[in-house]
Amino acid sequence: MTDVYAARGDSPLIVSFPHVGTDVPDEIAARMTPAALRLDDTDFEQPTLYDFVEELGASTVRARWSRLVVDVNRPPDNKPLYPGQWGAGLVPFETFHGEPVYLGATPDDAEVKVRRDRYWRPYHDALRAAVDAAVARHGFALLWDAHSIDAVVPKLFEGTLPDLNMGTVDGAACGMEARQAAFGVMRASGFNAVLDGRFKGGFITRNYGAPAQGVHAIQMELAKTTHLDEATRTIDPARAARLRPVLESAMEAALDALGDLLDD
């Protein structure tokens, strides 16, 4: 079985799903706590929510392995994304709710390195190939990194998270035209939207976003209340039906803006 699920489309859009994986190798699962094995921090619903991207001709890259095995949205050197704030590492030892991941000793540096090479690297090989192919074919790429999170996570932020949290590393990862076009759609959508707030973008956005080289990266962090039923933790059809057109229109607006720049 493959370590990453990748599908190549014919448009300059690449959609990355780094936190949808649910597989845990048996030898790792045997060491994990029951709380960790619930995989509560998984963005399991994201591919279903974004089921329209195939019609847009997007390439997609989806993680197979759980983010508790290795988090592919963290840098390989395990440096913190937001210095001074709590954050799960390359190999998390705690869940977002402060529960321990391991029954006993946590993985040492040697094991973290093995997991990076075994589970982290294939995701980035696939993502880099998709981005490079889009730039070679179209002259630019729009990398959309799809995430979701509970609206209330005291360990990560105070209060309640806005509905739509768009991150571009304060514009360093995405050109101004595409950034403004996508966020303009979100701001006019009726959802509570914020640009480069608490979530400015993880490793994927920061590492691949290079507007001068034609690669524009956006992290989309959705509050789960925008599309999930709180009781069942499954997609709420009515909520998803309201959200999907906003996401699709934001993607199309950014693509149009980038296409116009190329034509100038």
- The residue ranges of every structural domain in the chain are 4-23+44-68+120-263
Q: Is the pLDDT of residue 246 over 50?
A: yes
Q: Is 199 left (phi over 0), alpha (psi -120 to 50) or beta?
A: beta
Give the three-state DSSP class for 235.
Answer: strand
For residue 171, count CB atoms less than 10 angstroms from its CB and return exposed for 0-12, middle for 13-18, buried for 19 or more.
middle
Instruction: Label the pairing between strands 164-167 and 193-195.
Output: parallel
Lowest mean pLDDT among 117-126, 177-186, 228-237: 228-237
Q: Is the pLDDT of residue 84 over 80?
A: no
At residue 118, the pLDDT reads 97
pLDDT tens column, 130-176: 999 999 999 999 999 999 998 877 667 777 899 999 999 999 999 99
Instruction: Label the pairing between strands 215-223 and 141-149.
Output: parallel
pLDDT tens column, 103-131: 999 999 999 999 999 999 999 999 999 99
Which residues, in sequence order, are CB contacts of 71 under 8 Å at separation 6+?
A: 18, 19, 88, 89, 90, 91, 92, 120
Q: How many CB atoms lie within 10 A of CB 158?
A: 9
Instruction: Label the pairing between strands 59-63 and 4-7.
Output: antiparallel
Q: How confident is the model at residue 87 (pLDDT cuts 50, 70, 90)?
A: low
Strands (E), the chain: 4-7, 13-17, 59-63, 141-149, 164-167, 193-195, 215-223
Q: Is the pLDDT of residue 80 over 90?
A: no
CA angle 77, 165, 57 (to 5 degrees): 85
Residue with token string 């360093």: 172
Query: Per the CATH hierarchy, to which homologous superfamily does domain 4-23+44-68+120-263 belong?
Result: Zn-dependent exopeptidases (3.40.630.40)
Report the C-alpha gap between 141 and 217 in whole angstroms.
8
Mean of per-residue pLDDT scores for the chain: 93
Report the C-alpha gap between 145 and 123 in whole angstroms.
13
At residue 79, the pLDDT reads 81
pLDDT tens column, 33-70: 999 999 998 999 999 999 999 999 999 999 999 999 99
Q: Which residue, 16, 208, 92, is CA-closest to 5?
A: 16
For residues 138 and 260, which has the higher predicted lDDT (pLDDT)? 138
Provide the b/e sequence for 125-156 (b: ≥16 CB within 10 Å).
ebbeebbebbbeebebbbbbbbbbbbbeeeeb
Percent of the chain at pLDDT above 90?
83
At residue 86, the pLDDT reads 47
